[in-house]
Amino acid sequence: MYFLRQLNRFLHVYLSILRHLHLPLAFLTGKKDRPIFIGHRGASGYYPENTILAFDKAVALGADMLEFDVQQTKDGTLIVIHDPKVNRTTSGKGYIKNLTYEEIKVLDAGSWFDPRFKGERIPTLDAVLDRYLGKVRLLIELKKPSLYPDIERHLAEKLRERGADQLGDGQIIVQSFDRRSMQEFHRIFPAVPVGVLIKNRPAGISPREIRGIAQYASYLNPKVTLVNKRLIKRIHGCGMKTFAWTVRDKKTAGALLKMGMDGIATDYLDYLTKPGPIEKDRGR
């Protein structure tokens, strides 16, 4: 049994490396693709986050991928919102897990950002998938999955219904800070790659920990303040890719563009897509 477990681990890492073979090939040929530009909660520096408006504007600004957060209502509807409460970004109050979709769908999700966005709504996951799947890559974050029993299965069902297992590599990625949740999603629906998010810690993240994550994840995505070339090399060395989050200034954007990241998540996509001075159009 011990031999079989070790063989299984070796095969998983080996196959992961094969999936990402373009990394060493790019190095040998001298060719280097630019990072994937990721609209963090849409174009959330300029428009109310996690709304259809913010996602449409992100695509218009050149996003290759949309990042958004998923929570689950009391009656089991998957919705796109960052916080476990509706308080910060809507006209309502309360935990999402205690509210029905009928109660949530009427909330104003735009005025908190700027009065001119009054009437924006919290979208359902169904609405976002129907609008963008196959047109732009999607990075789906499960927020606080421990609050919602079986949310991994519910998400997998939504993606399977839409043929996510038939899409190209990296067209849909599911990520979370919750490693157990990502292991469970990977078990349920291995055709869709998963990523693990990491924040700053005094000791950083050890090579052993990175190798452990590579047993089930295809992406290891650090906060920008944790990123350095050594970490990127270690992640790539374990056969994973890496997305940095979240860029909110031009200096950081410029630095990350030169570091070999596979993707960069930002509230301000024009920091990545438009050279030179940037005209501000902030909603607040």
The answer, yes or no, to whether residue 262 has pLDDT greater than 60, is: yes
Q: How far apart are CA 36 and CA 19, in angstroms?
A: 17
* Alpha-helix runs per DSSP H in the chain: 2-19, 22-29, 52-60, 101-104, 125-132, 151-161, 179-188, 207-213, 229-237, 250-257, 270-273
73-128 pLDDT, tens per residue? 999 999 999 999 999 999 999 999 999 999 999 999 999 999 999 999 999 999 99
- Which pLDDT tens digit goes with each residue over 27-68? 333 345 899 999 999 999 999 999 999 999 999 999 999 999
Alpha carbons 246 and 39: distance in angstroms, whole number: 10
What's the rounded mean pLDDT across residues 248-269? 96
Mean pLDDT rounded to a whole number for the chain: 89
Q: What is the pTM of this model?
A: 0.86
Domain 2-272 bears CATH identifier 3.20.20.190:
yes
Domain boundaries, the chain: 2-272
Does residue 12 have an active-site annotation? no
Q: Which of 12, 22, 40, 154 is catalytic?
A: 40
For 131, the token pair is 């609008």
- pLDDT at 4 exceeding the cut of 70: no
Catalytic hit among 20, 22, 82, 154: 82
Confidence of residue 219 (pLDDT cuts 50, 70, 90): very high
pLDDT at 19 over 90: no
The H-or-E segment that residue 128 falls in is helix 125-132
Give the bridge partners for 283, in sequence order: none
20 has catalytic annotation: no
